[in-house]
Structure 1
Amino acid sequence: MLQFSFRRQRGMSYWGWLLLVAVLGFALTCASRMAPAYLDARYVTEALKVLAENPDLETMSAGQIKKELGRFFQINNVRGEPTKALQVIRGAKSTLVSIDYELRQPLIYNVDVVMKFNKQLNTARPELCCDALVDLEQFRKRD
């Protein structure tokens, strides 16, 4: 027969609770600092998918594309880097809409988290929306 001793079943110690609270606090701090950036990235993806469904996309000018995306961003309260990083690159047979940016978010004291987002819409392959298919470094070196 097993004998249970109530002395051994006291629950978590003070140090166990302190460690649990510290880990949960750190996780909540990370989530509260990084979640807005990932939410904005989700809205950027949705905006590009809505733009891909537009039948007039090939005939739209770069300004019209930026205006259309700007409206979507304004409705969904997307501000900052995603709106500044918008690029429209015209090719011979397609248009590339790219939103490539990097965010640096302070986490704790002098520790920062760097988040990189690269969303692209190529009108030649709209079904592959939002995956980074083209390396834009070659275009940036020309400028």
Structure 2
Amino acid sequence: MQTKQRGITLIGFIIVMAVVGFFAYLAMRLVPVYVEYYNVVSAMKGVAAEPGVANMEPNRVRDLLDRRFNIGYVESVKREHIKITRDSSGYRLNVKYEVRGPLFYNLDFVASFDRTVDLTRGGGG
């Protein structure tokens, strides 16, 4: 009586592990960038929720945002990436930046982020 063997061959197992390893490596490179972006969005929402933020000077708002970035370990956003423009209901806070990181030998990834929050007289964003 002949039994049918089941399972994966060694070559098949190596190929599966290579694919899993590739995506794990990709995740290790990209996840920190998106975690940092989440911290940027959280800091922006926190500044928008500050009482009286719509009446503050733009430099004061930048300082509040810088402090929150320091607490959240945000290193990719520099002061020149932060734009504060006057609006009829207060200010608009815009953070636009790019993160470039190595992937493989001469292959890099670029992630672009652009987020705007309204700093209104009513508070919140």
Alignment of 1:84-103 (within 5 A): 84=79, 85-103=81-99
Contact map agreement 2:84 2:92 (CA 8 A) in 1: yes
Report sequence identity in percent: 26
For the aligned residue pairs, the C-alpha RMSD in angstroms reads 2.1
Distance 2:28 2:98 in 1: 18
Aligned-pair CA distance for 1:91: 3.0
How many positions carry a matched residue from both structures? 123
- Show the counterpart of 2:48: 52
Aligned-pair CA distance for 1:93: 3.5
**Residue range with higher mean Cα deviation, 16-25 or 104-113:** 104-113
Distance 1:66 1:52 in 2: 12
Aligned-pair CA distance for 1:102: 1.5
Indicate the structure with greater strand content. 2
- Show the counterpart of 1:14: 10
Contact map agreement 2:44 2:117 (CA 8 A) in 1: yes
Aligned-pair CA distance for 1:55: 2.0
Aligned-pair CA distance for 1:94: 2.6
TM (norm. structure 2) is 0.86
Aligned-pair CA distance for 1:79: 0.7
SS of the counterpart of 2:73? coil
- Show the counterpart of 1:135: none
Distance 1:101 1:4 in 2: 64
SS of the counterpart of 1:123? strand
- Show the counterpart of 1:138: none
Contact map agreement 2:39 2:74 (CA 8 A) in 1: yes
Structure 2 residue 30 is matched with structure 1 residue 34? yes
Q: Structure 1: 5+ residue runs without aligned partners?
A: 130-143
Task: Show CA shifts across 1:1-28 (max 9, x none).
Answer: xx882x422x211111111111111111
Contact map agreement 2:53 2:123 (CA 8 A) in 1: no
Alignment of 1:58-77 (within 5 A): 58-77=54-73
Question: Partner letter of residue 21 of structure 1?
Answer: M
Match of 1:115 among 111, 114, 124: 111
Q: Structure 2: 5+ residue runs without aligned partners?
A: none
SS of the counterpart of 1:89? strand
Aligned-pair CA distance for 1:126: 7.0
